[in-house]
Amino acid sequence: KKFMLQTPDLFNKSMAHISNQIANYLCFQMQSGVDAVQIFDSWVGVLSQEQYAQFILPHMKNLISKIKEQFSDRPVILYSQPTAHILPLMAQTGADAVSVDWRLPLYEVAKKVPQNMTIQGNLDPIVTTLPWDLAKPHVEKVLEEAKRAEILDRFIFNVGHGVTPQTNTDTIAQIINAVHCFR
């Protein structure tokens, strides 16, 4: 961030290079057979709306447009956290989906992104470390919020950040079953 603020021209030049290389790599992945890609921009939540618009949005648009030029039929998911304050800007990147953390209720997320954008995530990953009887209410809450927000047709249930080493595999199996059975 200091590099970005001290030398904005050099930062943007670096970001242009990096975004082009990432686009090339993700296109290679798609040429090799992947059905979708997810771009992790984990640190971007530390930026203000103005900083995101100036320093990240143009490069993310470029990256995603290069992918879409070759693979318009394959989903591109954009992940970052904590980014409730920049979700509307992230929706302008051209990504098909935005992956969100657990800090903002899904009905709030749904208000911040276009109705044609898929929403992924929203379960606190620590919930996956719990026994199923303790995890179940949290899972049900996310599913019910998605239903109330009327986004089930464009919602991918997932953790809102990475899976922890302490994840309980029995709980994961129960979560998968609960998601598949939910309506």
Q: Output the CA–CA distances (angstroms, integers) from residue 152 to 54, 82, 174, in the order listed.
A: 33, 22, 19
Buried b (16+ CB within 10 A) or exposed e, 105-119: bbeebbebbeeebbb
**pLDDT of 15-48, one tens digit each?**
999 999 999 999 999 999 999 999 998 889 999 9
Percent of the chain with pLDDT over 90: 92
**pLDDT of 164-175, one tens digit each?**
899 999 999 999
pTM (predicted TM-score):
0.90
**pLDDT of 71-105, one tens digit each?**
999 999 999 888 999 999 999 999 999 999 999 99
Task: Give the count of alpha carbons within 13 A of 93, CB side only.
Answer: 32
In this prediction, residue 160 has a pLDDT band, given cuts at 50, 70 and 90, of: confident
